Amino acid sequence: MSIGMSVEHIGADPHGDRGGPAQPLLTVRKLVKHFDLKKSFVETMMGGGKVVRAVDGVDFNVLKGETLGVVGESGCGKSTTARLLMHLIEPSAGEIVFDGETVGSPALPLREYRRQVQMVFQDSYSSLNPRLTIQDSIAFGPQVHGVGKRESMTRARDLLARVGLEPSRFAERYPHELSGGQRQRVNIARALASEPRLVILDEAVSALDKSVEAQVLNLLMDLKDEFGLTYVFISHDLHVVRYISDRVMVMYLGKVAETGPAEALFEHPLHPYTRALLSSMPSMDPDRRTEEAPLAGDPPNPIDPPPGCRFHTRCPLAEAICAEQTPTLAATGTRETACLIHEPGSRHTQTGAAIYAS
């Protein structure tokens, strides 16, 4: 029953596709977020004080209907990027363009943007109001956007059924009466309730048991087909990202290291960081056992990131030039890499060498 209804909802959506299928759904340009460290009085007077460069100039596109996986170590700026995309925190600089319209411009005010973009958080418990029944939680979003109470409740129940929770049993329960997997289904239903076009999944399955995780992943893929959604899927779990993503973006210390189609990127990583990251992935196949040493230690402090290429302090292929010249994110075909080795004309000795042609 929910399927028919949902399709109708989408058909009646006055805020549908604008720029056509070739227009990226989301274009992020030079997105920067610096957090001020707590300053002492003197530093404030001197105008100094340091900043944490959580996201430091990130460019990427999210194409219509795709799933963009975002991977990286803890502290690389994945979650900050998600919160910036939702405008939960104000970017320090940069621009977010949604289907051809700049977010916050008169053509696309923030409130309208927020109806079309929704987020699922990692902590399924703290992302549901403990004092509201789950159908009230789900119906909240539509009500904010002027949908009547009765219709929002009907929609909430339809969505509950759609995410695999029998409405007659679950609609009037409270979050603490559900399991983690059930709660995360509720969160997904909640995100879908305002009929978004883009859903940001910030570690949405990371806190779940493996078996439940698989169920929720499959549910997400089904919902994507059914509602014509686009996902930004943030995770530290490389297997999951490979499974669900069409394209993958690798982040390191607030910058994009590499983007590319999932299979190509996992089979032939271009950036040394991606290689190192993938080598930390245990393989099931004894013939393809991990040979490259995984990275040791933590990434450098984002308060004082290393000059030049941010990865040069841990990169096995680093040369002196890497500490001086900052690589640009350059496109080669469908791939983009920020590494001097792949930058024609850089003074890295291995530039142009087909080192990864394995």
Instruction: Name the E strands within the chain.
Output: 26-36, 51-62, 67-71, 93-98, 101-102, 117-120, 198-202, 230-234, 247-252, 255-261, 330-332, 335-337
Angle at 266 between CA 265 and CA 267, to 5 degrees: 95
The C-alpha R_g of the chain, in whole angstroms, comes to 22
Residue 59: both structure tokens together? 């460019």
Distance CA 237, CA 116 (A): 27
Residue placing its CB nearer to another protein in the complex, 114 or 342: 114
Strand order in the sheet with 330-332: 117-120, 198-202, 230-234, 67-71, 247-252, 255-261, 335-337, 330-332
> Among all chains, which residue has been given the structure tokens 């013939």?
287
The nearest distance, CB 143 to another protein, in angstroms, is 9
The nearest distance, CB 182 to another protein, in angstroms, is 10
Residue placing its CB nearer to another protein in the complex, 1 or 296: 1
Binding status of residue 289 toward another protein by CB under 8 A: no
The three-state DSSP-derived secondary structure of 54-80 is: EEEEEEEEECCCCEEEEECCCCCCHHH
Binding status of residue 290 toward another protein by CB under 8 A: no
The nearest distance, CB 169 to another protein, in angstroms, is 5
Residues in region 236-265 near another protein by CB under 8 A:
none
Binding status of residue 215 toward another protein by CB under 8 A: yes
Closest of 296, 301, 293 to residue 253, by C-alpha: 301
Residue placing its CB nearer to another protein in the complex, 140 or 356: 140
Report the amino acid identity of residue 179: S
Question: Which one among 216, 241, 253, 329 touches another protein, defined by CB under 8 A?
Answer: 216
The nearest distance, CB 335 to another protein, in angstroms, is 30
User: How many residues sit close enough to another protein to count as binding (CB under 8 A)?
Assistant: 47
Residue placing its CB nearer to another protein in the complex, 65 or 164: 164
Question: Which one among 17, 166, 209, 304 touches another protein, defined by CB under 8 A?
Answer: 166
What are the residues binding another protein (CB under 8 A)? 83, 86, 88, 110-112, 114-115, 117-119, 121, 123, 126-133, 137, 140-141, 144-145, 161, 163-166, 168-169, 172-174, 176-177, 187, 190, 194, 215-216, 218-219, 221-222
